[in-house]
Amino acid sequence: MSDISVKPDLAIAMRGVTKIFGPDPEGALALLRAGKSKTEVQAETNHVVGLDNVSLDIAAGQIFVVMGLSGSGKSTLIRHVNRLIEPTAGEILVHGDDVLKMSLDQLRTYRRTKVAMVFQKFGLLPHRSVIDNVAYGLEVRGVGRKERLETAAKWIETVGLAGYEHSRTRQLSGGQQQRVGLARALSMDSDIILMDEAFSALDPLIRSGMQDQLITLQKSLNKTILFITHDFDEALKIGDRIAVLKDGALQQEGKPEDIVLRPANEHIEEFVREVNKARAIHVRSIMERGATEPCEQSVSMDARCEDVLPLFAEHQWVGVVDGEGQQIGRVTAKQVIKALARHTPGVG
Amino acid sequence: MFPQLIDTRPWRRAVDDGLNWVVRHWGGTFEAAAHPLLMLLKAIEDLLIATPWWLIIAVLTGIAWLATRRWPLPAVVFAALMFLGIMDLWKDAMTTMALMITATLAAILVSIPVGVWMSRSLRIRQIFAPILDLMQTLPSFVYLIPTVMIFGPGKIPAVIATIVYAAPPLVRLTDLGLRSVDPAVLEASRAFGTNPRQRLFGVQIPLALPTILAGINQTTMMALSMVVIASMIGAGGLGYQVLQGIGRLEVSRGLFAGLGIVALAIIFDRITQAFGRQLQARIGMQEAR
Ligand SMILES: Nc1ncnc2c1ncn2[C@@H]1O[C@H](COP(=O)(O)OP(=O)(O)OP(=O)(O)O)[C@@H](O)[C@H]1O
Ligand SMILES: [Mg+2]
């Protein structure tokens, strides 16, 4: 695996990353390479396969979502990016630098400046106030007190916790604590943000608001966000690309539509069955390309099926326009219905 | 009778001769090494004895108030100190208090670094755990005699014996406290690029502080329980009164001096515990998980 050629706009590249938990990972690795499954390796050697030969290319400036059921290895994967976990095999490149070859000092500098992380279990410091928690990363980086508290206060406000600056973290609800963790990572202003189920403890309303905020934030600051979730709807809403993990192995990686329209296997189909496909599918991916007669009604190319469905009550077809208002294609009700119905069991 | 398998007399002789040799050749060095301890003890004792009684009562009662912000504990502390004064035990109590404070300070100085060291390495823990067991279970007279031989009777061997007896719980609880820090918190700290020193002082020690304080509490209590034995080799204080009471069959003297030790124990136990609770409440551990 000496393929270090990395496209310049690639933020994170994982090459054949395998992680086996246990005292003798090499032995279990040999079994895994010989084609045994996670369950078989576990039964034979009592070693847990956390990740199984995962390769991912995560382009800079996008929200990349990793999806999977509980125990599929999502948290294990995200911890490899800032090397909280050492892989058993494989390579991890971040902006072209080999994370695994960094010395301890380089690794600390990398963690202080390049990546920030939001933890599934929050990981807040219970002996510090909310604002000191949010400022923690900046403090470690060596930012002066006044400046870091100002930044922290700004982000506390953004995540909707104004007024709680001087509370202790244990006095907050789970959702509030999660937002403290979020503010702590965002205040680092790092190029890469790792978010491990960062919205899982939030109520639906705040959650939806935070998702919108994250999308806006990503657009305005052009961050690379690696986002872990077990909620497919969330993945479809915020993800530029989605990867699905099962038993530590990558099942499929692609644009949200690819996954909804062309699920690679039964496991992913099961996910897709539950999801609101009208929200997942963009009109641009099913439209008829090319110029047509001028339309009475048009939608933007970023619109999703659920946005155009009501329009069909009045119109035979709807035009699709690009950012400049130029018509680039059209969709009909029939196309939309076909896309939504395609992979429904018993029909497709 | 168990048959004599080997002749152990040469071993005993070797141990005795070895000790004598150490006393002869190293006695001065040991004494010089322990000198700072003696200075500390003297300073604390002189200070406590020179301070007017009402000031000491005011300070300790004030500390008790700070530790709880309610009146029962200050009242208990006040009553205990008044008892010591009224029973004509004040000066002896100050001597005993000085011994206890010195031993506790020295124990903190030694135990916390050792506890930190133990918490970081399984090997070190495996080495120290039996030593700590030994220190706690070996009858104190066993090491009292060699210490007296090396340092001569007086306050130094008394302080050293007290430290040996009282330090282990603090080492153990420091180790335990540091190891039971939530790994999720430590991991988050690591993810932000902290080095081990920043994690130790910024995360582990603050979060382990309630447990460490419980260790300090135990150390003070064990130090107080050593005072009678310590006074046998010249520590003076309340323990000496107890000894004299026993020697002269004066039950009252022994009883009141004994109650004086209890009064000191109550004062220091309750105050350190109250501070521990306060700390715990601040970290919010009470409703934890
Ligand atoms: N430190 C560890 N030691 C041993 N096994 C581990 C360790 N960490 C994770 N695992 C195992 O690796 C697998 C993946 O765990 P991981 O935490 O990555 O799952 P996850 O996808 O994040 O799940 P969840 O959605 O519940 O958070 C699990 O089978 C788990 O038991
Ligand atoms: Mg997880």
Domains, chain A, ordered by start? 60-87+102-278 (3.40.50.300), 281-342 (3.90.1280.20)
More confident residue, A79 or A337: A79
List all residues 6 or more positions away from A279 whose beta carbon is below 8 Å from its beta carbon. Answer: A233, A236, A237, A304, A305, A306
Question: Cα-atom radius of gyration of chain A, to the nearest Å?
Answer: 22
For the segment A121-129, the average pLDDT, to the nearest whole number, is 92
* For the CA of A21, the nearest atom of ligand 1: 4
pLDDT of residue A90: 94
**Is the CB of A72 inside a 6 Å radius of any atom of ligand 1?**
yes
How many Cβ atoms from other residues are within 10 Å of residue A28's Cβ? 24
pLDDT of residue A8: 54
For the segment A299-318, the average pLDDT, to the nearest whole number, is 85
Cα B194 to averaged position of ligand 1 atoms, centre (Å) = 24
The domain total for chain B is: 1
In contact, A340 and A275? CB cutoff 8 Å: no
Percentage of chain A modeled with pLDDT above 70: 95
Q: Is B14 domain-assigned?
A: no
Distance in angstroms (rounded) separating the CA atoms of residues A158 and B129: 50
Nearest CA of chain B to the CA of A99: how many Å?
14
* For the CA of A49, the nearest atom of ligand 1: 12
Q: Does the distance separating the beta carbons of A127 and B206 come in below 8 Å?
A: yes
pLDDT of residue A288: 84
DSSP A86: -
Taking alpha carbons only, the member of A122, A145, A71 closest to residue B185 is: A122
Q: Is B2 domain-assigned?
A: no
Distance in angstroms (rounded) separating the CA atoms of residues A210 and A229: 14
Q: Does the distance separating the beta carbons of A170 and B283 come in below 8 Å?
A: yes
**Is the CB of A319 inside a 6 Å radius of any atom of ligand 1?**
no
Q: Is B5 domain-assigned?
A: no
pLDDT of residue A346: 44
For the segment A245-274, the average pLDDT, to the nearest whole number, is 88
Domain span at residue B77 reads: 28-283
Q: Is B260 domain-assigned?
A: yes
Residue B288 clears pLDDT 60, i.e. is over it? no
Q: Of B192, B198, B206, which is closest to A137 when you measure between CB atoms?
A: B192
Lowest mean pLDDT among A59-68, A104-113, A201-210, B93-102: A201-210
Cα B141 to averaged position of ligand 1 atoms, centre (Å) = 53
pLDDT of residue A152: 95
Per-residue pLDDT band for A284 (boundaries 50, 70, 90) equals confident
Alpha carbon distances (Å) from A204 to A8, A180, A234: 38, 18, 11
Helix%, strand%, coil% for chain A, nearest 5: 40, 25, 35
Cα B79 to averaged position of ligand 2 atoms, centre (Å) = 56
CA dihedral over A240, A246, A252, A256, signed as positive or negative: negative
Per-residue pLDDT band for A348 (boundaries 50, 70, 90) equals very low
For the segment A297-308, the average pLDDT, to the nearest whole number, is 84
Q: Does the distance separating the beta carbons of A140 and B198 come in below 8 Å?
A: yes
The closest ligand to the CA of A21 turns out to be 1
What's the whole-model pTM score?
0.84
* For the CA of A76, the nearest atom of ligand 1: 18
Per-residue pLDDT band for B285 (boundaries 50, 70, 90) equals low
pLDDT of residue A344: 52
DSSP A309: G
Q: Three-class SS of residue B138?
A: coil
Burial zone of B20 (CB within 10 Å; 0-12 exposed, 13-18 middle, 19+ buried): exposed
Q: Does the distance separating the beta carbons of B287 and A170 come in below 8 Å?
A: yes
Distance in angstroms (rounded) separating the CA atoms of residues B175 and B281: 21
Residue nearest to ligand 1 atom 17, measured at CA = A75
Nearest CA of chain A to the CA of B280: how many Å?
9
Distance in angstroms (rounded) separating the CA atoms of residues A198 and A78: 12
Lowest mean pLDDT among A70-79, B19-28, B97-106, B160-169: B19-28
Q: Is B190 domain-assigned?
A: yes
* Contacting residues of A for B184, CB less than 8 Å apart: 119, 121-123
For the segment A31-40, the average pLDDT, to the nearest whole number, is 89
Per-residue pLDDT band for B186 (boundaries 50, 70, 90) equals very high
pLDDT of residue A326: 83
**Is the CB of A25 inside a 6 Å radius of any atom of ligand 1?**
no
For the segment A24-51, the average pLDDT, to the nearest whole number, is 90
* Contacting residues of B for A127, CB less than 8 Å apart: 206-207, 282-283
* Contacting residues of A for B288, CB less than 8 Å apart: 126, 170
> End-to-end alpha-carbon separation of chain B, Å?
58
Structure tokens at B128: 């120290």
* For the CA of A38, the nearest atom of ligand 1: 29
* Contacting residues of B for A136, CB less than 8 Å apart: 189, 192
ipTM given for this complex: 0.84
Q: Which residue of B has its CA nearest to A124?
A: B185
**Is the CB of A229 inside a 6 Å radius of any atom of ligand 1?**
no
Distance in angstroms (rounded) separating the CA atoms of residues A132 and A146: 12
Q: Is B250 domain-assigned?
A: yes
More confident residue, A61 or B285: A61
Inter-helix orientation angle A145-158/A174-186, to 10°: 130
pLDDT of residue A156: 94
Residue A275 clears pLDDT 90, i.e. is over it? no
More confident residue, A279 or B160: B160
The closest ligand to the CA of A39 turns out to be 1
Residue pLDDT, tens place only, B84-130 = 999 999 999 999 999 999 999 999 999 999 999 999 999 999 999 99
Chain A residues contacting B via beta carbons under 8 Å? 82, 84, 107-113, 115-117, 119, 121-127, 136-137, 140-141, 168-171, 181, 188
Mean pLDDT for chain A overall: 88
* CATH number, domain containing residue B115: 1.10.3720.10
pLDDT of residue A7: 55
* Contacting residues of B for A123, CB less than 8 Å apart: 184-185, 187-189, 191
Q: Is B6 domain-assigned?
A: no
Residue nearest to ligand 1 atom 7, measured at CA = A21
Per-residue pLDDT band for A309 (boundaries 50, 70, 90) equals confident
pLDDT of residue A282: 81
For the segment A94-102, the average pLDDT, to the nearest whole number, is 92
For the segment A161-169, the average pLDDT, to the nearest whole number, is 91
Lowest mean pLDDT among A169-178, A291-300, B112-121, B181-190: A291-300
Lowest mean pLDDT among A333-342, B216-225, B262-271: A333-342
Q: Is B220 domain-assigned?
A: yes
pLDDT of residue A243: 95
Cα B73 to averaged position of ligand 2 atoms, centre (Å) = 47
**Is the CB of A128 inside a 6 Å radius of any atom of ligand 1?**
no
